[in-house]
Structure 1
Amino acid sequence: MSKVKRPEEFGAEIVEALQAYGWYAGAGYFEADLCRGLKEEALAIYTNSQGDGFYQARVGDRFQNLKDTRVRQDQIHWLDPLQASPWQSIYLQRSWDLMMVLKRAMFLPINGFESHFAMYQSGAFYKKHVDSFQGRNARLLSLIVYLNDDWGESDGGQLRIYREDNPEVEAATIQPEMGRFVIFLSETIHHEVLPSHRPRLSLTGCEIQ
């Protein structure tokens, strides 16, 4: 496996971006070997179970949890830390290490981390939303890690992020390329996944209090 950067090497720039804009996008923390190993596992789970290992994602909070493909069309598979593969264990540990750096720097009450694979088949999308519901959810930070080789502009599936101070104004459009990761404030950053034109894989995690 290639040499990896320590979470402290990213901490200062991530904190600065989160405090200024509410989001950060970067690369170089989740190395290529790890991302490709995770991609192979996700595809094996999806293919070997004929999709049964994944299920249609829902929208809403714990009080109103609905299946609505007009809003969200990805399929997900939750990771179980107690049954995690070696690749999954590395990903979970590295995610947790990074979150602990952010917790100390930003005085966040992070006490847990939950994560799932997300599969967007061709044509799938996720309309504009936030990952946490004010006053009704424990999610603090969202982390997305992309697992897609050779992804071009014409492949679609980009993450569109909106400004924290004005969710009607686009802040960035991010290509879901292998190894790229995005962190944003779960409760205040509106975002969407544009329609994908080929199968698209990622890992989505949320830091919870």
Structure 2
Amino acid sequence: MSENPSLEQLSSIVDDLAEQGWSLQPAFISQTLTLELAQECRKRAAQGALVPASIGRGQGLAVQEGIRGDRIQWLEPGQSQACDQYLAKLESLRQAINQGLYLGLEDYESHFALYPPGAFYKKHLDRFRDDDRRAVSVVLYLNQEWETGQGGELRLHLPGGGVRDIAPQAGVLAVFLSADMPHEVLPAQRERLSLTGWFRRRGDSVL
């Protein structure tokens, strides 16, 4: 598979966001890059670089494992070839969303997330009450041979009261509007890896 997202993939994501507020792409990147990103995540975990994730922001930032139990490390350009390839793909997606939906997305932030067995993240929105910059949420899953019954689904709470559960299978990309889509991560029976990130626009308030 090409390492560049196809125009068809990009158009599908843009159309889905416009029509329903979320999109699911089962093979957004190649198996090779997916494996390399999973290996990078596990390497960082073994080095102790992943730390317990916090909730809130600023002075309200706190670790609360009763709400979320993942361990994370933020991506920065130049850290690894695999990460840089992934960030380049997300730049293509940012441009496509801006061209199709005029959201004014300016940048992208992302981190590795490792959920130990039994960890979860309770229902929440990705946009902070006092910071509206996060506009589009993006999750790429890195788990090979994820089986039915192992849990760990991303549960989207859809407008109208329905839900959609997305299994964290390697190569699957989930994209949704940050302010409009409450979601949660269900407990899993095995280690669960992902890359989680947000396209951000310029904030309305001056801090």
- Which 10-residue stretch deviates more, 148-157 or 135-144? 135-144
Q: Which residue of 1 aligns with 2:49?
A: 53
Q: TM-score, normalised by structure 1?
A: 0.91
Q: Displacement of 1:13 after TM fit? A: 1.9
Q: Distance in 2 between matches of 1:25 and 1:62?
A: 32
1:1-209 alignment, distance < 5 Å = 2-4=1-3, 6-47=5-46, 49=47, 52-62=48-58, 64-81=60-77, 83-163=78-158, 165-166=159-160, 169-209=161-201
Q: Could you tell me which runs of 5 or more consecutive residues in structure 2 were left unpaired when the two chains were aligned.
A: 202-207
Q: Distance in 2 between matches of 1:137 and 1:43?
A: 32
Q: Displacement of 1:137 after TM fit? A: 3.0
Answer yes or no: is the 8 Å Cα contact 1:74–1:124 preserved in 2. yes
1:125 to 1:154, Cα distance in 2 relative to 1, 3 A: same
Paired AA for residue 99 in structure 2 = R
What's the Cα RMSD here?
Answer: 1.5
Cα deviation digits, residues 12-44 of structure 1 (max 9, x gap): 221221122211111222111111001011111
Answer yes or no: is the 8 Å Cα contact 1:7–1:101 preserved in 2. no
Cα deviation digits, residues 153-206 of structure 1 (max 9, x gap): 22110000011x34xx23310010010000000111000000011000000011
- Which 10-residue stretch deviates more, 118-127 or 4-13? 4-13
Q: Distance in 1 between matches of 2:35 and 2:178?
A: 26
Paired AA for residue 208 in structure 1 = R
Paired AA for residue 65 in structure 2 = T
Q: TM-score, normalised by structure 2?
A: 0.92
Answer yes or no: is the 8 Å Cα contact 1:5–1:28 preserved in 2. no
Q: Which residue of 1 aligns with 2:205?
A: none
SS in 1 for 2:149: helix
Q: Distance in 2 between matches of 1:160 and 1:54?
A: 24
Paired AA for residue 98 in structure 1 = L
SS in 2 for 1:155: coil
Aligned residues: 201
Q: Displacement of 1:9 after TM fit? A: 1.7
Answer yes or no: is the 8 Å Cα contact 2:11–2:96 preserved in 1. no
Q: Distance in 2 between matches of 1:201 and 1:170?
A: 26
Answer yes or no: is the 8 Å Cα contact 1:122–1:196 preserved in 2. yes
Q: Distance in 2 between matches of 1:194 and 1:130?
A: 15
Q: Distance in 2 between matches of 1:7 and 1:101?
A: 11
Q: Distance in 1 between matches of 2:196 and 2:119?
A: 16
Q: Post-superposition, which runs of at least 4 consecutive aligned residues in structure 1 deviate over 6 A?
A: none
